[in-house]
Amino acid sequence: MKTIRSLVAMRRWRESAEGRVVLVPTMGALHHGHAALIRRARRLAGSRGKVVVTIFVNPRQFGPLEDFASYPRPLARDLTLCAENGANVVFHPSAEAMYCGEASVWVDEGVLSQTLCGKSRAGHFRGVCTVVAKLFLLAQPSDAVFGEKDWQQLAILRRMVQDLNFSVRVLGHPTVREADGLATSSRNAYLTAGERRDAARIFQELQAAASRPGRPDQVTRVASTGIAKIPGARIDYVEAVDVATLEPLKNRTTSGRLAAAVYLGRSRLIDNVPLPVVS
């Protein structure tokens, strides 16, 4: 496995790479959720293709009060995980290499990013779209794999690819969970032992509510009521949305997603589950 740090070296590698190139963008602090994405990329790339994992804690997607400085950066462990799961290249640029000075050009999705997490994380998706567009231009992948855990991000990136005519196939990978159902996340490490125990209830309440046949607003109310009972939990949102447009779901005749963001201790946890059609 090769580690690349400079943009020039990344471009040079890409020019000589043959076969499919499958990209897995990450911020590092890799866990078995990321490992599943890398293995999926490996299967897609086949024996002749190449898997590129990017590790970049992107300063432009963090708000001023968010955890950019304290975000974990265990690079040696991350490189081992990438190698063990079949990556050919890890692209790990510095912020200085990725961004030269103040940006005046951004990739800004204007509709889907206004809802859900976009309301409390101003500028977050603009930072995500900009960095992913740059990674697409540098690595020129045929496919890119993203986690369904970040459903809104996935929907926005699909939209970006469509609107900007990137010839990249965006693939969503199902959320990888801990044994009790909590979505695996680098930020789970911020939870105390008690919070960690309670955190699993977010998924359990979403699942229980989504398995009911009621109208979207009833399902949302049931989930909110359950999550509000978790000690110390503060709900940012619980919403039933259309899978692609992220608009509020009006009925159960099309598939939706029941999504939540919940503050627990110093963590902000997000999760989502399918909201199936009810006939």
> Could you say which of 31, 32, 34, 92 is catalytic?
34
Residues making contact with ligand AMP (CB under 6 A): 26-27, 33-34, 37, 146-147, 149-150, 173, 175-176, 183-186
Handedness of CA 133, 119, 247, 278 (dihedral sign): positive
- Compute the least distance from the CB of residue 137 to ligand AMP, in Å: 18
Tokens at 126, concatenated: 């603009």
Chain Cα centroid distance, residue 263: 18
Of 88 and 175, nearer to ligand AMP (C-beta) is 175
Of 116 and 222, nearer to ligand AMP (C-beta) is 116
Measured CA to CA, the distance from residue 59 to residue 47 in angstroms comes to 35
Measured CA to CA, the distance from residue 185 to residue 87 in angstroms comes to 20
What pairs with residue 260 in β-bridges?
Answer: 238, 271
- Compute the least distance from the CB of residue 24 to ligand AMP, in Å: 7
- Compute the least distance from the CB of residue 183 to ligand AMP, in Å: 5
> 148 in the Ramachandran plot: left (φ > 0), alpha (ψ -120 to 50) or beta?
alpha
- Compute the least distance from the CB of residue 25 to ligand AMP, in Å: 6
Of 126 and 149, nearer to ligand AMP (C-beta) is 149
- Compute the least distance from the CB of residue 82 to ligand AMP, in Å: 12
Of 22 and 37, nearer to ligand AMP (C-beta) is 37
Q: Are 52 and 139 in contact (CB under 8 A)?
A: yes
Q: Is 31 a catalytic residue?
A: no
> 265 in the Ramachandran plot: left (φ > 0), alpha (ψ -120 to 50) or beta?
left
Of 60 and 221, nearer to ligand AMP (C-beta) is 60
- What is the DSSP secondary-structure string of 33-95? HHHHHHHHHHHHHTTTSEEEEEE---GGGS-TTSSTTTS---HHHHHHHHHHTT-SEEE---H
- Residue number of the CB closest to ligand AMP reads 147
What pairs with residue 120 in β-bridges?
Answer: none
Of 44 and 222, nearer to ligand AMP (C-beta) is 44
- Compute the least distance from the CB of residue 196 to ligand AMP, in Å: 15
Measured CA to CA, the distance from residue 217 to residue 111 in angstroms comes to 22
Q: Tell me the catalytic residues.
A: 34
